[in-house]
Structure 1
């Protein structure tokens, strides 16, 4: 039945807001924003829609819901949140990269130079974002070499009695043991901050003045120190600075298409330095033009994200509304340039080349993975419909902090968003069979109930015993038809000698070391192992760093910190008397007695 839009359009206001297109199954299939809701929604119901994709979407509309907002900027934020929540079929979707890495200079008396990802804290200075963690760590190494700033944790810094190796290799001035004054260290911190802000010439000028002054005072060792620091800075400039770019901070964005696949490449320039680039591959971009794709990227990428004053793109899009929204969002002017000239055009061409190369590499990898999957089907006599493969592994240290992992291979590639970990409790420590039973039961009970996708093939990292457990679980949950394969490691656990066990077959199957199907199996198995062991290590580390103070009622983070600072650690608290504990600020006599009893 054709959707009648007239009653909806009649009551829509000429105000900014967000609209949601919903199909007959009550699924949100598209989310959009508008400066004028009435005009924007009405545009979908014209007689001659130019885009086949839009016509297809409109044919599935069963109802429309709208939300009025105070401004277009607010509409953009709401639209982005709704897209993340509903993942609509007809919205171009980009991966949410809210956790870009930054360099931070902490607000301590002797500030620490550190890698940071996540929520930013007051009192610290942050520089970035960087496209990846490698770029951050390389920059930290350069800053250490030039400015000799500390990178150690505060717990280590506070308990040093002599300089560490970083001082010996001239990467730190050892503020932990007083080898540098607060004032001199502050100068180094200021120089590092200026450098990260792109004001490197100011740093060079100050260092040059200090070198000359030291030479005049005949402090030649100090003058040589400043000279060496200037030489190091010049080397960094030669390696990283964009000498022909007249804007300190900018993002260069290029979109490219190859064989119906789309890629958006983002080049980041911060403080006049080329920090690197990152490629994004959107979902649901079939049939979309480049303008729509770039528009979606800008809206989804920069909402609640730090942005530079200049954004350069290779597609002619309407920029006025976005510039207005972004300017309001960051509180300063943001310019989107769709027709760059000179050096900016050169950088845009480089971003386009990056996008095309990323597409070519992805196409080659996809073809390779498809070939491996075909080889695996033939070798194991699997149905031609075998596409989705799940693999399970167990990780623990002598039964401690047992974690099971499930990784997914589908649509020709690993699917990290669908990976799952299971913390295993309530079993005999070290019982891998019980751990596997627990993980499989939890996973496939939900799938049997209709939650999630049914796999075509399940790999179990283990031999006949593990496979037997998997067969029992599948019968219990009502999924006996799923094909199960146990992967046993070869002699001396050497790769290439794996054997595969099938339910109902007496003899295992082995593949040659150079068999493409074996390479796919190893890739999936190794990914399951990696995912399990990282989860296990995190759980084990958390358990081992858990303080027994956390289990005492009435002891929160603030009191715990006061106690540990006062006594220098948990052992100090254990050795203290009730009277000594009660002297700590915020600890009453009654609470001191409770702490003493809990720790003894």
Structure 2
């Protein structure tokens, strides 16, 4: 270690030793004084000390520590303040080693404009001009349906006229088509008072907050009052609004309406790359906000750390004041006047399950999008899944699978199919005629073929597979192991694919003694194994049929004296099979081989 590094180390140790044992934020800076990492801590001294008190394993954390040249910190009053400050600083400085919010979509919000006669419209721009915003809405269709409901319930203007009191009194405006079709009450010409209009706007705000029950109660009271006063036409109009709101509420309500002002979070990790977090805000038993987003992982962040960041981000973004947060597992986070709940059953568990369903769907959609842009990504993901399930030392870039085919030992053959990066490599497929085995002995046949395949590969120094799969169970796996390990002294992982009584792919076996690897039907991994098994079976049985057919054709024509190989080839080229040669007329045969041979063939095949 040179003098400069030693001085840096002493300098950092000096900062760490003087850190307060209080909640706060710490920032790591590199040689250019650029912030490369921001973190939060309940106890600044203990947290920062943990980075420098042990030797880190090779990886991103070790690289981060090697680049730290200075440390700054900010002391705060509570862990909640630390969480919020951390989130803001990460978004502001975008440090290289912090998780990054992958928020590549600007979702629309609903704006209630700050005007004398407020307009209500969809927007993707949030302006700090005193207007009120609801959202953002990740499902644009739901937003449009909500706006449509508002327009059916309340005559809100859609024009952009400057409706000041002076302009209206001066008679600057005329009513438009929206007035004539009863979508607007004509405030531009003084037909609707500002007080009445703003009363509608306040009800719209309650609706956008999710407080539909409050509006429904008010509408019901108004309807009863009008009915008691014999104003049945006005009461009917209120009833139509009441029915619209009831229908909307019944569609949006997912649990007991007593569950009010609750935030729900769930998280799904995608290896060491990403974390997906879903957020639901529940008002009166209905989902009022729903949003799923992705974090790009940079270090070895835990699920808990990522979920804490997600909670801070969503509560700030949606200005949530919920006094209860539902999460899938316990987290150490202290928020003022907020209860953290991990439900095991009941309506709250239903909300958590719904959130998880959303996050899993979002993850699946993102993976599909990524695979469309990079088709090879699907293969890599599946190879990693196989590697993980079978605990392989490397990804199975080349997989080879064997299958035997015979009928009571006759015309015994075998096939080997090769998949490279999970794609069939047909130029590498191989057919084998069983030479040393008499009778129907699948184990001995498998042993012969595997030995021939890999003895030749070793002799010719050809690439060996990363995984061998047998189309069979434990017995087939054992004979392959005997050849690979005991006879050829190779180290190649071996798996077996078993079928059920209906000859369908049933289970994947691995290890010695073999263990069943759970394969859920319909998953990409199950479909891949099914494809490999079907392909090797198709290849082997097609080869067997061809061999048997050629033998049968050859025996039928070879027994006719006077018919040589050239004549046989002419006949088969013209008629394709012995059956068609039998069915041919004497004239058709004469046209191909002449009258003498034609008569001979007709006579001999007729005897057979």
For the aligned pair, the TM-score class normalised by the smaller chain equals 0.5 to 0.7
Which residue of structure 1 lines up, in the alignment, with residue 311 of structure 2?
298
Which residue of structure 1 lines up, in the alignment, with residue 354 of structure 2?
350
Shift of 1:183: 4.3
Q: Do the aligned residues in 1 keep the contact of 2:37 with 2:97 (CA within 8 Å)?
A: yes
Q: Do the aligned residues in 2 keep the contact of 1:130 with 1:275 (CA within 8 Å)?
A: no
How many aligned residue pairs are there? Answer: 362
Instruction: Kindly provide the CA deviation profile for residues 157-201 of structure 1, in whole angstroms up to 9, marking residues without a partner as x.
Output: 968744333334443323223333444434433433333344333
Which residue of structure 1 lines up, in the alignment, with residue 205 of structure 2?
193
Structure 2: how far apart are the matches of 1:307 and 1:47? 40
Which residue of structure 2 lines up, in the alignment, with residue 118 of structure 1?
126
Structure 1: how far apart are the matches of 2:316 and 2:115? 31
Q: Do the aligned residues in 2 keep the contact of 1:104 with 1:115 (CA within 8 Å)?
A: yes
Give 1:461-476 correspondences, 5 Å limit: none
Which residue of structure 2 lines up, in the alignment, with residue 254 of structure 1?
266
2:225 pairs with 1:225: no
Structure 2: how far apart are the matches of 1:266 and 1:98? 16
Q: Do the aligned residues in 1 keep the contact of 2:279 with 2:314 (CA within 8 Å)?
A: no
Shift of 1:303: 4.3
Task: Give 3-state SS (helix, strand or coil) of 1:281's partner.
Answer: strand
Structure 2: how far apart are the matches of 1:193 and 1:201? 13
Which residue of structure 2 lines up, in the alignment, with residue 337 of structure 1?
341
Structure 1: tracts of 5 or more residues without a match? 325-332, 375-600
Instruction: Kindly provide the CA deviation profile for residues 130-153 of structure 1, in whole angstroms up to 9, marking residues without a partner as x.
Output: 446554443222111112222332
Task: Give 3-state SS (helix, strand or coil) of 1:154's partner.
Answer: coil
1:68 maps to which of 39, 58, 74: 74
2:325 pairs with 1:311: yes
Structure 1: how far apart are the matches of 2:223 and 2:208? 22
Change in 2 beyond 3 A, CA 1:265/1:285: farther
Shift of 1:373: 11
Shift of 1:294: 1.0
Structure 2: how far apart are the matches of 1:174 and 1:238? 32
Which residue of structure 2 lines up, in the alignment, with residue 370 of structure 1?
374
Which residue of structure 2 lines up, in the alignment, with residue 484 of structure 1?
none
Change in 2 beyond 3 A, CA 1:275/1:57: farther
2:192 pairs with 1:216: no
Give 1:16-27 correspondences, 5 Å limit: 16-23=23-30, 27=34
Change in 2 beyond 3 A, CA 1:54/1:17: farther
Change in 2 beyond 3 A, CA 1:209/1:364: closer
Structure 1: how far apart are the matches of 2:257 and 2:59? 39
Structure 1: how far apart are the matches of 2:112 and 2:200? 12
Instruction: Kindly provide the CA deviation profile for residues 287-343 of structure 1, in whole angstroms up to 9, marking residues without a partner as x.
Output: 4321122122223444475114133222322122xx13xxxxxxxx33333446421
Structure 1: how far apart are the matches of 2:343 and 2:58? 28
Q: Do the aligned residues in 2 keep the contact of 1:135 with 1:276 (CA within 8 Å)?
A: no
2:21 pairs with 1:14: yes
Give 1:574-585 correspondences, 5 Å limit: none
Q: Do the aligned residues in 2 keep the contact of 1:23 with 1:61 (CA within 8 Å)?
A: yes
Q: Do the aligned residues in 2 keep the contact of 1:89 with 1:284 (CA within 8 Å)?
A: no
Task: Give 3-state SS (helix, strand or coil) of 1:195's partner.
Answer: helix
Q: After the TM superposition, which of the residue ranges 56-65 and 135-144 deviates more from structure 2?
A: 56-65
Change in 2 beyond 3 A, CA 1:304/1:105: closer
Which residue of structure 1 lines up, in the alignment, with residue 101 of structure 2?
94
2:284 pairs with 1:277: no
Structure 2: how far apart are the matches of 1:344 and 1:311? 10
Shift of 1:228: 1.0
Structure 2: how far apart are the matches of 1:316 and 1:111? 44
Structure 1: how far apart are the matches of 2:89 and 2:276? 23
Structure 1: how far apart are the matches of 2:301 and 2:368? 23
Shift of 1:226: 1.1
Q: Do the aligned residues in 2 keep the contact of 1:18 with 1:37 (CA within 8 Å)?
A: yes
Structure 1: how far apart are the matches of 2:153 and 2:33? 60
Q: Do the aligned residues in 1 keep the contact of 2:109 with 2:122 (CA within 8 Å)?
A: yes
Q: Do the aligned residues in 2 keep the contact of 1:317 with 1:338 (CA within 8 Å)?
A: no
Instruction: Kindly provide the CA deviation profile for residues 363-420 of structure 1, in whole angstroms up to 9, marking residues without a partner as x.
Output: 222222113999xxxxxxxxxxxxxxxxxxxxxxxxxxxxxxxxxxxxxxxxxxxxxx
Which residue of structure 2 lines up, in the alignment, with residue 28 of structure 1?
35
Task: Give 3-state SS (helix, strand or coil) of 1:282's partner.
Answer: strand
Task: Give 3-state SS (helix, strand or coil) of 2:97's partner.
Answer: coil
Instruction: Kindly provide the CA deviation profile for residues 86-123 of structure 1, in whole angstroms up to 9, marking residues without a partner as x.
Output: 4223311214699775434445443333345424444x
Structure 2: how far apart are the matches of 1:85 and 1:112? 33
Which residue of structure 2 lines up, in the alignment, with residue 144 of structure 1?
151
Give 1:176-187 correspondences, 5 Å limit: 176-187=188-199
Which is higher, the Rg of structure 1 or of structure 2?
A: 2
2:90 pairs with 1:83: yes
Structure 2: how far apart are the matches of 1:59 and 1:186? 58
Task: Give 3-state SS (helix, strand or coil) of 1:266's partner.
Answer: strand
2:47 pairs with 1:40: yes
Task: Give 3-state SS (helix, strand or coil) of 2:100's partner.
Answer: coil
Shift of 1:225: 0.8
Structure 2: how far apart are the matches of 1:363 and 1:191? 41
Q: Do the aligned residues in 2 keep the contact of 1:98 with 1:305 (CA within 8 Å)?
A: no
Structure 2: how far apart are the matches of 1:281 and 1:245? 30
